[in-house]
């Protein structure tokens, strides 16, 4: 499964094609679905372009995407930078009026298991975000069902991203949930190829990189998805 990560926490001025509004997210999701993505991960924003977990902002983004791309699973982030207070993150999840299909929870963040539990109780599939080997160990102590594990390589160089990926994959139990392997920045494309070769889910989009495999600036999310699909077919 190739997931599209459409915007992340990037500032609006980092790329002219970055989708921030529900309308822009929906248009990008539909284009990417047509190219082969099996799900999209988005960071909904408020009217000022600030990341938000508020019910209205989550609902606007999720509804718009579902109308533009019926049947495409939609996920959101619950990153602590959006709402630093763990209790407030739990309260936000419990207040959502429109539920995404899945949501990511970073295992290293304070209150992560409580946020995951609130999602599970509401019927939202949990993606456990793992950035380091210690985060893998923290996640393995959770008592909350997880539908997918995100092995997220944040190293600044391609070689170190590959080493990070190998270490985290080795630390995971082989009988656990499906793994989605991806990187950010310089390691994106080499880690994506590793994921394809190992038969793992992966993702691509402007959240993770602004550049195509040849180093040129991508026009938009659709260009990144097309490049990923081409690599997977090689």
pLDDT in tens, 156-178: 777 888 888 888 888 887 778 99
Rounded distance, CA 234 to CA 226, Å? 13
Rounded distance, CA 105 to CA 127, Å? 6
The DSSP secondary-structure symbol of 201 reads B
Q: Residues 151, 183: contact at Cβ < 8 Å?
A: no
Mean pLDDT of the chain: 94
Confidence of residue 185 (pLDDT cuts 50, 70, 90): confident
In 3-state terms, the chain is what percent helix, strand and coil (to 5)? 40, 20, 40
CATH number of 2-233: 3.20.20.70
Residues making up the chain, counted from first to last? 234
**Residue that has been written with the tokens 């909350």 in this structure:** 144
Rounded distance, CA 184 to CA 161, Å? 9
pLDDT at 176: 86
Whether residue 233 has pLDDT greater than 70: no
Whether residue 126 has pLDDT greater than 70: yes
Percentage, residues of the chain above pLDDT 70: 99
Please state the φ and ψ torsions of residue 72, each to the nearest 5 degrees. -80, 120
pLDDT at 160: 84
pLDDT, tens digit (0-9, with 9 covering 90-100), for 75-125: 999 999 999 999 999 999 999 999 999 999 999 999 999 999 999 999 999
Q: Which of 2-6, 46-50, 154-158, 164-168 has the lowest mean pLDDT?
A: 154-158
Percentage, residues of the chain above pLDDT 90: 84
Overall average pLDDT of the 1-9 stretch? 97
Q: How far lies 50's CA from each of 9, 63, 75, 81, 193, in Å?
A: 9, 19, 18, 11, 32
Whether residue 155 has pLDDT greater than 90: no
pLDDT at 162: 85
Handedness of CA 108, 170, 42, 12 (dihedral sign): positive
Rounded distance, CA 47 to CA 13, Å? 16
Instruction: Give all strands (DSSP E) within the chain, no chain letters.
Output: 2-5, 39-42, 74-77, 102-106, 125-130, 148-153, 179-183, 202-204
Q: How far lies 37's CA from each of 97, 129, 142, 184, 204, in Å?
A: 26, 20, 29, 18, 9
Q: Residues 204, 224: contact at Cβ < 8 Å?
A: yes
Q: Residues 14, 207: contact at Cβ < 8 Å?
A: no
């Amino acid at each position: 499964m190739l997931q599209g990560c459409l915007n992340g926490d990037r500032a609006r001025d980092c790329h002219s094609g970055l989708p921030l509004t529900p309308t822009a997210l929906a248009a990008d999701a539909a284009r990417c679905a047509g190219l082969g993505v099996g799900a999209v991960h988005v960071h909904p924003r408020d009217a000022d372009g600030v990341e938000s977990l508020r019910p209205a902002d989550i609902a606007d983004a999720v509804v718009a995407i579902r109308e533009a791309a019926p049947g495409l699973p939609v996920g959101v982030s619950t990153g602590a930078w959006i709402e630093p207070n763990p209790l407030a993150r739990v309260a936000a999840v419990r207040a959502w009026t429109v539920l995404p299909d899945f949501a990511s929870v970073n295992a290293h963040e304070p209150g992560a298991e409580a946020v995951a539990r609130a999602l599970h109780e509401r019927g939202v599939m949990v993606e456990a975000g793992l950035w380091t080997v210690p985060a893998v160990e923290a996640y393995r102590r959770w008592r909350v069902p997880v539908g997918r594990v995100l092995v997220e390589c944040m190293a600044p160089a391609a070689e170190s991203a590959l080493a990070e990926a190998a270490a985290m994959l080795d630390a995971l139990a082989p009988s656990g949930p499906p793994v989605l392997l991806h990187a950010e920045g310089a390691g994106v494309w080499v880690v994506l190829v590793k994921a394809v070769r190992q038969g793992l889910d992966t993702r691509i989009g402007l959240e993770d990189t602004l550049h195509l495999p040849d180093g040129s600036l991508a026009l938009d999310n659709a260009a990144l998805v097309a490049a990923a699909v081409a690599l997977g077919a090689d």
